[in-house]
Chain A
Amino acid sequence: NAGVMQNPRHLVRRRGQEARLRCSPMKGHSHVYWYRQLPEEGLKFMVYLQKENIIDESGMPKERFSAEFPKEGPSILRIQQVVRGDSAAYFCASSPNQDGELFFGEGSRLTVL
């Protein structure tokens, strides 16, 4: 059973470009969470999705950031018009149900030049 798969593992973008980060949850998991880790900091909750629905996006910046988890395919975290402050590691996690154990992916490291 493959774990949570994230790609790309590393992404370099110039200011103003778009970044798309993908997350395939573990098989059988329909709950997906995105967390952001800034350098030398802990993870911060961004958004919680359950197939085709955004349940909680209270941690998402109000502008430029969006997330989706379509019926088919991976969850996508999209960052438009990236700025240097968006440079971070973005972790996806999945669980089989609302309170189930979280399984984390290895993260996508975004660098904005």
Chain B
Amino acid sequence: AQSVAQPEDQVNVAEGNPLTVKCTYSVSGNPYLFWYVQYPNRGLQFLLKYITGDNLVKGSYGFEAEFNKSQTSFHLKKPSALVSDSALYFCAVSLPGGYNKLIFGAGTRLAVHP
């Protein structure tokens, strides 16, 4: 079965430190990969996506993600965390030609401490 795993329920990081939120996937073919962020009682906001090309993708708010095909991973990173980055982060995949039928991970809560 096709799935997305976010192995950490929560990530804690001090403000100013680099952050990483992990994501691995099990999907046949060459999937499209996404990161979304959700603030309390809000909808999801798009951060970035990987379709093809450079393995390092830059997105909104200073976030970036690195695609690693051999490890089937797509970890989200930011060089210097802000308190305002505290939110719930979701990794998702879709299949080429599969329109926007996204498969989401369970989410990782990021807490950035002052």
Per a CB cutoff under 8 Å, which of B44, B46, B101, B103 touches A91?
Answer: B44
Check if B106 sits within 8 Å of A41, measured CB to CB. Answer: yes
> Which residue in B4, B46, B103 is a CB contact (below 8 Å) of A45?
B103
Near A by CB (< 8 A), chain B positions 4-42 give: 4, 36, 41-42
Chain B residues within 8 Å of A33, by CB: 100-101
Contact of A106 among B42, B90, B104, B106 (CB under 8 A): B42
Whether, in the assembled complex, A24 has its beta carbon less than 8 Å from a beta carbon of chain B, the answer is no
Q: Are B100 and A31 in contact (CB under 8 A)?
A: yes
Complex contact A106–B43 (CB within 8 A):
yes
Give Cα A99–Cα B43 distance, bound, in whole angstroms: 20
Whether A48 lies near B102 (C-beta < 8 A) is: no
Q: How far is the CA of A102 from the CA of B34 in the complex (A)?
A: 11
A25 within 8 A of B: no
A98 at the interface (CB under 8 A from B): yes
Cα distance, A104 to B46, chains bound together (Å)? 9
With A41-B106, A42-B90, A42-B105 as contacts: A99 and B41 at CB distance below 8 Å: no
A4 touches B (CB below 8 Å): yes
* A26→B52 CA distance, assembly (Å): 27
CB atoms of A102 and B46 under 8 A apart: yes
Q: Assess whether B45 is interfacial by the CB under 8 Å rule.
A: yes
Chain B positions near chain A (C-beta within 8 angstroms): 4, 36, 41-46, 49, 90, 92, 99-107
